[in-house]
Amino acid sequence: MYENYSVLFVDDEPHILSSLRRGLMDEEFTCYYAESGKAALELMGKNPVHVIVTDMRMPEMTGLILLKHVSERWPNTVKIVLSGYTQLQQILTTINQVDIFKFITKPWELEYFIQIVYKALDYYILREANESNREILEAQNLAYVNILRKIDDVVLNAKKSVELLCMIGKAIYGFDKKLDITQRVRYESIYSIQDSVFDAFCKAVVNEKKEYTYSGISKRSSVFISKNFPNANIGIEDISNAKATLNIELIKAALQTIKLVFEEEFEHSAQTVKIGLKDESRIYMSILFRKPPSQGEANTSKEPDLFDVKLDFINNVIGLAMSMEHIEYVSKQVDQNIGILFSVMENTCK
């Protein structure tokens, strides 16, 4: 855990540094040693240092001045000070001017000294993890800002589709309300494609509804699937010449959403796509695939399975979009088999 982290020890007394070398030679972290503040700064300019442990009373450059330089150039480095009981005034000055993690008084017990160093490394690692999580959350928030901006842009050119577009945007934007911050980080793969999902629907809603024959819907859908689902086996049944009025680009956006969300699963599982008639009056398209074995193992934690969260996401977004267009959308899971169904009734989508 600590092998990728390093600690710099600074003291102008060579015998103290020699003692530290002997006492720390078996520890996991990398150790650097410097006999002056100048040497310490030169070393930090060439090597990453996560924790610095420095004496206060040193000639030419005191520990306080050294730590001021460190705070300016490497603000994330955790600082530990070695001091004697007689250096109270210097300690108080340091507290007021530099963020100090811990003071260790001389002389020290080696076991206690090592514990403090590991606590400092743990503190650095914790802050590092928090910063990483913060960047992920900021990226997610930026995606939401972009979604809201795109809503404004698209609404200007598609006033008739404003209700549908806003509902889709709210479905995507509101998805995170079901999850806490830890879960949002865990399911980051879903958040990373939300902007692309919304973009696909943005492009789709500006298209007007048109009347298509069932054979025309079948042809356009199969061409789109062939291009975007390379592992799909497509079967087309006999289609009647009935007609339906719809925005076929919304169906393509729904298919694109399925591809984006289940891209990893589709790499390991072939899809079976069927296009045909349902109840003689509806044209339907079904997509069948299997849940990968790695995601089918028993989940011993209380957290939702990633695959189930993905399925919930597309049901929320696609289900809402299709219902507002009067297109039937159903998804079912039986054991490891997943089925997704779209169906359109003859001339009921006007």
All structural domains of the chain, each given as residue ranges with its CATH number in brackets, are: 6-127 (3.40.50.2300), 208-345 (3.30.565.10)
245 vs 10, 221, 233, 344, CA distance in Å?
77, 15, 27, 9
Give me the residue label for tokens 């809503």. 151
Task: Report pLDDT for 294.
Answer: 57
pLDDT at 299: 53
Give the angle subtended at the CA of 63 by the CAs of 57 and 65, to the nearest 5°.
125
Distances (CA, A) of 117 to 13, 39, 53, 80, 95: 20, 21, 8, 8, 19
User: Tens place of pLDDT for every residue, the chain, 350 residues?
Assistant: 888 999 999 999 999 999 999 999 999 999 999 999 999 999 999 999 999 999 988 888 988 899 999 999 999 999 999 876 555 555 666 555 668 888 888 888 899 999 999 999 999 988 888 777 777 777 777 777 777 777 766 665 456 567 777 788 777 777 767 777 777 777 888 888 888 898 888 888 878 788 999 889 999 999 999 998 888 899 988 887 888 888 899 999 999 999 999 988 888 778 899 988 887 778 889 999 888 775 444 555 566 788 888 898 899 899 888 887 788 999 988 878 889 998 887 765 44
Predicted TM-score (pTM) of this structure: 0.53
pLDDT digits (tens, 9 = 90+) for 210-235: 899 988 999 999 999 999 888 889 99
Q: Which tens digits make up the pLDDT trace of 64-73? A: 899 999 999 9
Cα-Cα-Cα-Cα dihedral sign, residues 206, 208, 209, 213: negative
Q: Please report the pLDDT score of residue 259 as a whole number.
A: 92
Question: What is the rounded CA–CA span in Å between residue 259 and residue 141?
Answer: 23
Cα angle: 128, vertex 185, 332; to 5 degrees: 165
Fill in the DSSP letter of residue 304: P
